């Protein structure tokens, strides 16, 4: 049987802290971010952004 080593910590790493901060910023300024009601529209917009990137 294979084992998986997993480190569990109650202290978030830098990437997690950054994601939390980004989420808080989005919650404080929702008008700065686009929302979608249509998944096809969202995917189309994301693909355009990838092409521009």
pTM of the predicted structure, to 2 decimals = 0.57
**Host domain of residue 35:** 14-52
Q: What is the pLDDT of residues 15-40, one digit of tens each?
A: 999 999 999 999 999 999 999 999 99
**Per the domain annotation, does 23 fall within a domain?**
yes
- Residue whose token pair is 């995917």: 43
The Cα-based distances of 42 to 2, 15, 53 in angstroms read 40, 25, 16
**Per the domain annotation, does 20 fall within a domain?**
yes
Euclidean distance between CA atoms 48 and 51, whole angstroms: 5
**Per the domain annotation, does 36 fall within a domain?**
yes
Euclidean distance between CA atoms 40 and 31, whole angstroms: 21
**What is residue 8's predicted lDDT score, i.e. its pLDDT?**
87
**What is residue 13's predicted lDDT score, i.e. its pLDDT?**
94
Number of domains in the chain: 1
């Amino acid at each position: 049987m294979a084992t998986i080593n997993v480190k569990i910590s109650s202290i978030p790493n830098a990437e997690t802290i950054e994601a939390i901060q980004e989420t808080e910023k989005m919650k404080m300024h929702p008008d700065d971010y686009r929302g979608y009601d249509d998944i096809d529209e969202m995917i189309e917009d994301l693909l355009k952004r990838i092409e521009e990137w």
